[in-house]
Amino acid sequence: MRKKLVALSLVLIFAVCVTLFLRMMPDLLTLMNSYQLSFWVSVFMFVPLNVVYLFLYALGFSNKSTASVMMSFGASLFLYGGLFLFVMSVERVGLNSSLSLLFIAPLLFLILAPLFSKESVNGAQTLAVILIAAGAACIFYSKGLIHPTSWESISYIIGAAACWAIFSLMALKTKSGIFVNVYIYMFVGLIASAILMFVQSSFILPVYSSVGTLLIFGALVATSIFLWSGIFRYSSASYWAAMVYIVPSIMLLYEVIYKSANVPVIAIIGMGVTGLAVVYRTIIKM
């Protein structure tokens, strides 16, 4: 039970981080476009990460597995490929629809995980995923899910979900330490964001008053990637695939607490189903 509670705590921290950086993003996008924001966030994540890396290296922590490092590089391509497709989807079908459809990724991860690991998923674990996913769907529906007009318009987000599912599977398979993985992800992200910024936009310096916000934003994104890369190592694939659906409930609670938002009945039902599903998933086998 202790292991389950620790894993649940990590998922809750992940959900809070995702909620906070999604709420900060609109304000930052008034100061720069998405390509410039991606670049500067990568800078504000990668530079502090190097300081931590040098500290760990000085203590003797290192990774000498070339195969694992190469797999981490490959995983990072799917991580940022999914991010690029997600941004394209937001431009076409809006944030609500994109976030909703993006939650296909944990289901794809759950289906494919047995092919990459020795874990088997039983009926009780599958039921938990279905229940908590249904609760998340109710919350997204209450937020005004936009129904796309064509399959072409949602192909980007389906591609993003597939990319992030493959990224998760590769991160699960690699034998590199979590810090090594994240360091590689940040390195590839910095290069990719720099190329995209100069190709699709132009270089700008951030406003001095926004530097602190960018640091906080970068820390939240980096923490989310750390947790995403580590939760399903610490727990099981089925546990992570179910519990990640807590994110919509945390987002809704944030709006209620800090914005005094009205909560539709279907959203209340969704939160209730999510809560019961979380309790159920915590009781059954990890």
When computed from its CA atoms, the radius of gyration of the chain, rounded to whole angstroms, is: 19
The answer to whether residues 282 and 8 touch, using CB atoms and an 8 Å cutoff, is yes
Position 51 scores a pLDDT of: 66
Query: What are the start-end ranges of the H helices in the chain?
Result: 2-29, 34-58, 66-93, 95-102, 104-116, 123-142, 151-173, 178-200, 211-234, 237-243, 247-259, 265-283
How many Cα atoms occupy the beta-carbon half-sphere of 282 within 13 Å?
Answer: 17
5 pLDDT more than 80: no
Rounded to an integer, the average pLDDT of 249-278 is: 83
For residue range 59-112, list pLDDT tens digits in order: 445 555 566 667 777 788 888 788 778 777 776 777 667 777 777 888 887 777
Position 95 scores a pLDDT of: 67
pLDDT > 90: what percent of the chain? 0
246 pLDDT more than 70: yes
Whole-number mean pLDDT of the chain?
Answer: 78
Domain ranges in the chain are: 2-283
**Crossing angle for the helix pair 211-234 and 34-58, to the nearest 10 degrees:** 60
pTM assigned to the model = 0.79
Position 59 scores a pLDDT of: 45
42 pLDDT more than 50: yes
For residue range 147-172, list pLDDT tens digits in order: 555 566 678 778 888 888 888 887 77
- Which of the four pLDDT bands, split at 50, 70 and 90, describes residue 115? confident
Tell me how far the alpha carbon of residue 246 is from its chain's centroid: 12
Cα 66 to Cα 52, 69, 73, 157, 186, distances in angstroms: 21, 5, 11, 32, 18
**Interatomic CA distance for residues 192 and 50, integer angstroms:** 18
Non-local CB neighbours of 65 within 8 Å, separated by 6+ positions: 175, 176
